[in-house]
Amino acid sequence: MDVKRLNNMMSEHGIYSRERLLIPISDPGVLVGGTCYVELDAYAKREVAVLYLDGGGPDPKAASLLQRTKTSLQARKRVIHSLKRSMQVDDGTAEYYLSISNGDPRAAFSEFSEDLRWEREVGLS
């Protein structure tokens, strides 16, 4: 797999803005004897295995931030799922209304209801 693709970069310029890069390995044997950490990569938006070659490990502050980010993403998914059921719409529509309401589920539902009312008045539905 290409380094740019693995790191979700369009060009090589992204290399200079990163704190770290995900590097594909062709021989998993190089990991033998090392301690590998599973972390959530903020750029790739996925869990990755990280090997610290200097023998160190992840920064405890960064690990805490990653855990909070992961928890926050899970909470957002639950809110979107709830809105999706309440409004009887797809994920994208629920995400849209949540984003225009600055993350407030009640405001999102109100916006959605107003749009439905407007559509009925105009005769679109």
Domain boundaries in the chain? 3-57, 61-122
Kindly state the average pLDDT of the residues 42-71: 68
* Cα atoms found within 13 Å of the Cα of residue 15, Cβ hemisphere only: 8
> What is the reported pTM?
0.45
Contact 94, 78 (CB under 8 A): no
Helix 91-100 × helix 105-122 angle, to 10°: 110
What pLDDT does residue 16 have?
Answer: 76
Residue 1 pLDDT more than 70? no
| Sign of the dihedral defined by the CA atoms of residues 58, 62, 67, 73, in that order | negative
Q: Which residues contact 105 (CB under 8 A, 6 or more apart)?
A: 79, 82, 83, 98
Contact 94, 87 (CB under 8 A): yes
Map tokens 């529509």 to a residue: 93
Kindly state the average pLDDT of the residues 72-86: 86
Tokens representing 89 are: 């719409």
Q: What is the mean pLDDT of the chain?
A: 79
